[in-house]
Amino acid sequence: MPATRTPRHLAPRRPITDVDVAVIGAGAAGLSAALTLGRCLRRVLVLDGGVPRNAPSPAVQGFLTRDGTRPAELLRLSREQLTPYDSVEIQARRVTAVEALAGQFRLTIEGETGRSSRVTARKVLLATGVEDELPPIDGMRELWGRGVLHCPYCHGWEVRGQPLAVYGRAKLVTGLALLVSRWSPDVVACVEDPAYLTANARRRLRQQNIRIREEPVARLEGTKSGELRHIVFESGEKLARTAVFVHAHQHQRTPLAEQLGCRLTSKGAVWVDKKQQTSLPGLYAAGDTTPGTQQAILAAAEGSAAAISINETLTREECPK
């Protein structure tokens, strides 16, 4: 539990809870929120039960001042910068349930030995991220983050000018292939369901010199260190490529928001208002778990915005009119 007591003037009038804020998830969003809340003298417990989404990637690109830093190093630095804030504690434990009680939340946390414990908090921030669902093709999972990429804003510069491919369903492959073609003049679109590729999509791809491959992909061949060498089609033909971009489906890393009855978007993201507040009062969300562009620096920014919003709500509760 966070080491310091709440300063007297911040003592809540509401039911006393173990902490002011429980932050679930210690990726860019959760740690950024913890930093802002720590600077607000709030008692914060950050709980994290695994690795961040970009763990398979060699580097976080496009994060101002940290461009090219290893994902684990970015988080190490973030945690290091939290050490002066002794009202913030981070525990490597997974949250298995959250209950909304009158004026507070109760979290069930999995212990190292498998035994659960409970913690109460006035507010909860969900910063639990998403999980990518890769196409069931041999090599996709093994090369994910190096030879198989998800986003040209994160990785396009590293593979600029090289032979690239884009793989996916007709509905999504066109837009992604057109986008990737801004980074390289040699792009091949491998279409999972070519029957659905419209004449207009074909024309737009051709206009940008993007070749279309309609035969099923059998597997990806790459190096032990994760670089892509070839896309192998069912016919046995091999297409040499440096990287393939895929538009992976994704789902919430935890069902906590759904279990609490929060509103989700049609794409399964946790709906939030402009202040990162979910449809359940007192429960906030930030980072990949919410709708919109998914980037580490944006997740960090959302975490900070959520923290400010939480602190302002707590302040209003503590300073009644």
Ligand X SMILES: Cc1cc2nc3c(=O)[nH]c(=O)nc-3n(C[C@H](O)[C@H](O)[C@H](O)COP(=O)(O)OP(=O)(O)OC[C@H]3O[C@@H](n4cnc5c(N)ncnc54)[C@H](O)[C@@H]3O)c2cc1C
Contact yes or no for 167/135 (Cβ under 8 A): yes
**Using CB under 6 A, which residues numbered 192 to 231 contact ligand X?**
none
Number of continuous H segments (helices) and E segments (strands) in the chain? 8, 17
311 binds ligand X (CB under 6 A): no
152: left (phi over 0), alpha (psi -120 to 50) or beta: alpha
Among 12, 50, 58, 291, binds ligand X (CB under 6 A): 50
Looking at 2-10, 58-66, 182-190, 221-229, which segment touches ligand X (CB under 6 A)? 58-66
| Residue 127 CB, nearest approach to ligand X (Å) | 5
Among 123, 241, 247, 253, binds ligand X (CB under 6 A): 253
Among 45, 47, 166, 187, binds ligand X (CB under 6 A): 47
Q: Which residues contact 277 (CB under 8 A, 6 or more apart)?
A: 283, 284, 309
| Residue 148 CB, nearest approach to ligand X (Å) | 8
232 binds ligand X (CB under 6 A): no
- Which residue reads 């992976």 in tokens? 248
Per this entry, what is the length of the chain? 321
82 binds ligand X (CB under 6 A): no
Among 56, 58, 175, 194, binds ligand X (CB under 6 A): 56
| Residue 116 CB, nearest approach to ligand X (Å) | 12
DSSP character at residue 269: P
Cβ-based nearer residue to ligand X, 153 or 233: 153
Looking at 228-236, 260-268, 290-298, 306-314, which segment touches ligand X (CB under 6 A)? 290-298
Contact yes or no for 116/93 (Cβ under 8 A): no
Contact yes or no for 241/231 (Cβ under 8 A): yes
Q: Count other Cβ atoms within 10 Å, centred on residue 317.
A: 15
Give kind and range of the element (H or E) at residue 110. Answer: strand 104-110
24 binds ligand X (CB under 6 A): yes
Among 21, 23, 34, 60, binds ligand X (CB under 6 A): 60
Cβ-based nearer residue to ligand X, 43 or 253: 253
**Using CB under 6 A, which residues numbered 98 to 127 contact ligand X?**
127
DSSP letters for 116-134: EEEEEEEEEEE---EEEE-
Sort strands 148-149 and 130-133 into parallel, antiparallel or unpaired: unpaired
| Residue 243 CB, nearest approach to ligand X (Å) | 12
Could you tell me the CA-to-CA distances from 133 to 160, 210, 248 in Å, in that order? 25, 26, 6
Summarize as ranges the residues that interact with ligand X (CB under 6 A).
Answer: 24-30, 47-54, 56-57, 60-63, 94-95, 127-129, 132, 145, 150, 154, 253-254, 287-289, 294-297, 299
